Chain A
Amino acid sequence: MAIVGLILLFMYVPLFVLILNSFNESQISGWPIKNFSTKWWAFARNYQPIRDALLNSVLVATGAMIFASILGTLVAFAMKGFNFFGRGTVNILVVLPIALPGVVTGVAFSNTYSNFLTPAGFNIGYFGMIVAHATFCIVMVFNNVFARLRRMNPNLQEASADLGAGLWQTFRLVTFPQFRTSFAAGALLAFALSFDEVVVTIFTAPPGIDTLPLWILKEVGRPNQASVVNVVATVVILLSLIPVYISQRLTRAQEDER
């Protein structure tokens, strides 16, 4: 019992210290907080670098989410409908980008971009960051969609084909409605994962481009404006928890449906 309390304290105290410090009036974070104010929130709201970083984060996460949704769904369908040679390998390939350390993934992409593509006259720039993010987000969509497909009734698809529907028509009218909640849940998790990612981003972001976590990273090294960092960190907490929360709700709603 005491251990459980200790674990919960350990898990939540740091987050609360951080969130409360975003209301710290002093420029330097610390504890105990002497004066509370919302001045750093007001400052952050109109501070252009933070706005730019937020926009970049949303753009990258959206791009990664779109690519990962398509690719993850395709793999899920292949894994569900077919028992083929190399099935296990495909599974490992999907998990690998998230299983290997982020620094390895990041360095691998960075190496390809700057030591191979750039010398070949191809500057991938901003898109390279989205490609890297999409790669490790595939597994999120795959897991969600695959879990749902496995419990789906395959007879419905065959019935649809027997009735003369084409593959696309079956997909649109029969298959997709059955897994769209899992699809949305997976896509949201992919968004949250990308939004929160920093290590791969460090190595793949083009010079001068910051995402929110990247901005925090650069700012923490400097002694001034520490309390603004806490504001941005709190925003990151909220913006990654919202998609996760919705995704959980979707999954639960789907379980109730059945």
Chain B
Amino acid sequence: MTDTTTNSQPRSVRRSRPVSSYLLRRPKLRLLSLLALPMTWIIGVYIFSLFLLLITAFWNVDPFTSLVSPGFNLENFSLVLTNPSYIATSVRTLLIALTVTLVCIMFAVPLGIFMAKIARPWLRNTLAVAITLPLWAGYLVKIIAMRLVFTEEGFFNWAMSPIGVRGPGFSVPIVILTLTYLWFPYMALPVYTAIRQIPPNLFDASSDMGAKGFTTVWRVVIPLIVPAMIAGSVFTFSLSLGDYLAARFTGGATQMIGSIIAANINLNPPVAAAYSMVPITFVVIYLMVARRTGSLERM
């Protein structure tokens, strides 16, 4: 702000504006009045709720009234961290989320190279829209759609019957596929943008030096787009990690962390609260690792 207000008031001002001129001279107060409402909302409602969730994780459920009663014990945490089925679910969820991320990368890189370097402009733009559009087509809708495709009497088994292939039925591979379907655009878009930014003469240089197409991709393209892949993986990883509806509708008996949290929230809120800390921890660790690589500034 320039320092106009210290001069005498311009003569053309007819009405005095006490509030405005007061605020104009006090940027801190202006900042405070801008941030007061949103920060009250986010901290007072959301962060406070997360904090209460953490508190609840130390409480227990009264076995007679089945009501939550305040207290302090670490039983819920020790249950979550030592019970074999809880550990198995945590590990399974972690592996599913990592696999989804890898599958997304494996699809996103060739797609990005094709769009950025091979496709003509009209095809490139069409593809960019085609990838973005399903992002908004509805989360639950996409899960239902995958359920229709891979159900026993569904599209996949019908389309594959001429060659005698049958789908695996609702199981972990279909959960991975559904999650890939849900979050793929989050990986595809940053990877495509990053590949577009690679100067074309790097490709020429690589082929002049005798590199074949695959070598160029592996030695030139991949190292340059690692930051974009990490940025995309933050979404594919953390969104997959917390998901449970994909597992519920396309996973058969597959359970993920979210399934157990959701099942417990009414029966035993403290256990649900304690188990919620597991995905939060995973996501925070992942974010911190990603931040150390310096990839998050690009998001």
Contact = CB atoms under 8 A, between A and B. Distances in A.
Interface string A89-119: 0100110110111111101111110111000
**Size class of A's contact patch?**
35 or more
Given A75-B38, A167-B23, A216-B144, A107 B265 contact: yes
B107 A167 contact: no
Across chains A and B, which 7 residue pairs bring their CB atoms closest together, nearest first? A101-B242, A14-B145, A166-B20, A78-B34, A18-B145, A103-B258, A108-B49
Contacts of A203: 262, 265
A213 B280 contact: no
Given A101-B279, A241-B137, A74 B269 contact: no
Contacts of B133: 241
A154 B183 CA distance: 38
Interface in A42-101: 67, 70-72, 74-75, 77-78, 81-82, 84, 90, 93-94, 96-97, 99-101
**Size class of B's contact patch?**
35 or more
Interface of B: 1-2, 4, 10, 12-14, 17, 19-20, 23-24, 27, 30-31, 34-35, 37-39, 41-43, 45-50, 52-53, 56, 68, 107, 110-111, 114-115, 118, 127, 130-131, 133-134, 136-142, 144-149, 151, 153-155, 158, 181, 184, 234, 238-239, 241-245, 249, 257-258, 261-262, 265, 269, 272-273, 276, 279-280, 283, 287
Nearest to B53: A108
Contacts of A192: 136
Contacts, number: 249
A236 interface: yes
Contact of B2 (A102, A116, A158): A158
A31 B145 contact: no
Interface of A: 1, 3-4, 7-8, 10-15, 17-18, 21, 29-32, 67, 70-72, 74-75, 77-78, 81-82, 84, 90, 93-94, 96-97, 99-105, 107-112, 114-116, 131, 134-135, 138, 158, 161-164, 166-168, 192, 196-199, 202-203, 213, 216-217, 220, 229-230, 233, 236-237, 240-241, 244
Contacts of B140: 196, 198, 213, 216-217, 233, 236
